Amino acid sequence: MATREQQPSESQQELRDHSTGDLVKQLSSQVSALVRQEVALAKVEMADKGKKAGVGLGMFGGAGVAALLGLGSLTAFLILVLHQAIPAWAAALVVTVIWGAVAGVLALQGREKVKEVGTPIPEQTTESVKEDVEWLKGNRR
């Protein structure tokens, strides 16, 4: 039974023709290029998220101004209505306590929503870097 020696592929033969120093230099330049590409991907991803968040935050700001104007009018209305039954200072105090309670509830709900979002990290880039590390570990052997 004759054994056949496996012939090295062209890429393996090319690697054998290079010195260790050349191979380390190639690896260094390839890792540098990979890191630059990952950083570029992270920048693009974060810029996209930032643009989307900026538009949404601008709309929230406009809604906040409009709501504040409406709340001012509503506050005056409520004080005038309550003044029919109790003194003006007491009506103003009641309305202030109500608005304080509303603010507290909204703050607690807002905090929970922010916790749901988690950390602002570029998920695709993180996954890509993990894959690169696994690939490097596999090829190191």
Could you tell me if residue 15 is inside a domain?
A: no
Summarize the confidence of residues 4-30 as an average pLDDT.
Answer: 75
Query: Tens of pLDDT along 46-58?
Result: 888 888 888 888 8
Could you tell me if residue 79 is inside a domain?
A: yes
Summarize the confidence of residues 103-116 as an average pLDDT.
Answer: 91
Could you tell me if residue 72 is inside a domain?
A: yes
Could you tell me if residue 76 is inside a domain?
A: yes
Residue 54 structural domain: 23-116+125-140
pLDDT above 90 coverage of the chain, percent? 35
Query: Tens of pLDDT along 25-43?
Result: 888 888 888 888 988 888 8
Could you tell me if residue 81 is inside a domain?
A: yes
Could you tell me if residue 17 is inside a domain?
A: no
Report the number of distinct structural domains present in the chain.
1
What length does the chain have?
141
Question: Is the pLDDT score of 117 beyond 60?
Answer: yes
Of 51, 41, 32, the C-alpha closest to 124 is 41
Could you tell me if residue 95 is inside a domain?
A: yes
Could you tell me if residue 102 is inside a domain?
A: yes
Query: Tens of pLDDT along 63-106?
Result: 999 999 999 999 999 999 999 999 999 999 999 999 999 999 99
DSSP 43-108: HHHHHHHHHHHHHHHHHHHHHHHHHHHHHHHHHHHHHHHHHTTS-HHHHHHHHHHHHHHHHHHHHH
